[in-house]
Amino acid sequence: MRKQPIGVFDSGVGGLTVLAALHERLPHESLLYLGDMARLPYGNKSPQTIIRYARQAASVLISRGIKMLVVACNTASALALDELRRAFHPLPIVGVLEPGATAACAATRTGRIVVIATEATVREGAYTRAIQSLRPGAEILAVPCPLFVALAEEGWHSGAIVEAIAKQYLEPVFSRTSTDVLVLGCTHFPVLADTLAKVAGPGIQLVDSAHTTAQAVAEMLVRMDLAAEPRAQPASVHFMSTDAPERFARVAARFLPQNLRPYEVELIDL
C-alpha cells in the first residue's frame, strides 16, 4: 500500500504547479498525474458537468491503484470534493481549496482577503466558506478572472497585455477594499504571479495552494501510515492526458521545473 502512487488530477496542466510542490516536498512518493485536456476548461461549466468529469477522472486513477487522490484543480475541489469522498470512500482525498484557505489565513494580518478564481469556483462560494471557517469575521472578496486561464494555457504570462487584463480585473477590487492577501484560487494562476504581484503592489502578498496542499498531503500520509520508504532515487512521475499528449508535454514545460518535464505522456479515454 505504501508503495502505491498518489493520484493527482486537474482539468489540464494547471495542477502541475501542485505536482511540482508534491514532488519537491515528497520526493520518495510515486505520482500519477491526469490532465483532462479533452474537456478543459472546467471553470465555466455547470456543477453537474464538473462533478461528472471529476468522478470519471478519479475512477481512472483509482483503477491504477492509487493510495491517495489529490484534486489539484480549484474548480473541481470547490464543486466535486464532497461527492468524490462519498463515491470513493474510504480513499483519502485532498483538495486544494482548504490548503489555499489555510495559507490565506496564515498570511493575512488585516483579515481582508481577495480571492481570484474561475467563474464556477466563485459562484460556489467555497473559498469564502473555507476561509471563514478558519477565521470567522474575515472579509473575503472573490473575483472571477476567467481570461487568466486562457492566458496561462497560451503561455502569455507577462507583458503589457497580461498586465492590462490583470488591471481590468483587479484595480476596481483594490480600489474598493484594502486587502493584504491575494489568493490565487486557480492552479493556472501561479504562472502569472509576477504580473499579478506587479498589479497588486508591494503591500499585498500572493498566496497559492501548491505548497500548503503538499504539506496537507505529507501530514495525511504520516497520520494514515501511508508514507513511502525513503530510497536513494526520487520516485517516478507518470503523466496521462485525455487529449493531445504532445500539446500537453509542450504546455507542461511552462509549468514544471526542468527535471520533471514529461518525456512521455500516456493518452487515455474517459
Look at residue 46 and give its three-state secondary structure: coil
Q: Are 206 and 196 in contact (CB under 8 A)?
A: yes
Write down the catalytic residue from 186, 196, 251, 256. Answer: 186
Residue 49 makes contact with its own copies by CB under 8 A: yes
**73 is a catalytic site residue:** yes
By CB under 8 A, name the one of 160, 230, 231, 258 that touches its own copies: 160
Q: Using CB under 8 A, which residues numbered 111 to 140 contact its own copies?
A: none
Q: How many residues make up the chain in this entry?
A: 270
Q: Please report the sign of the dihedral spanned by the C-alpha atoms of residue 110, residue 112, residue 118, residue 123.
A: positive
The helix/strand count (H/E) of the chain reads as 11, 10
Residue 46 makes contact with its own copies by CB under 8 A: yes
Q: Using CB under 8 A, which residues numbered 140 to 159 contact its own copies?
A: 146-147, 149-151, 153-154, 156
User: Phi-psi category of 65—alpha, beta or left, where left has phi over 0 and alpha has psi -120 to 50?
Assistant: left
What mask of x and - would describe binding to its own copies in positions 206 to 245, judged by CB under 8 A?
Answer: -------------------------------------xx-
* Shortest distance (Å) from residue 223 CB to its own copies: 37
List the grid coordinates of 21. Answer: 510542490
* CA distance readout (Å), 92 to 115, 154, 237, 263, 270: 26, 33, 20, 29, 22
List the grid coordinates of 242. Answer: 485525455
- Whichever of 139 and 163 has its CB closer to its own copies, that residue is 163
Question: Rounded to an integer, what distance in angstroms lies between the CA atom of residue 190 and that of residue 10?
Answer: 15
**145 is a catalytic site residue:** no
* Shortest distance (Å) from residue 257 CB to its own copies: 24
Binding site residues, its own copies, CB under 8 A = 37-39, 44-46, 49, 146-147, 149-151, 153-154, 156, 160-161, 164-165, 168, 243-244, 247
Known catalytic residues? 73, 186
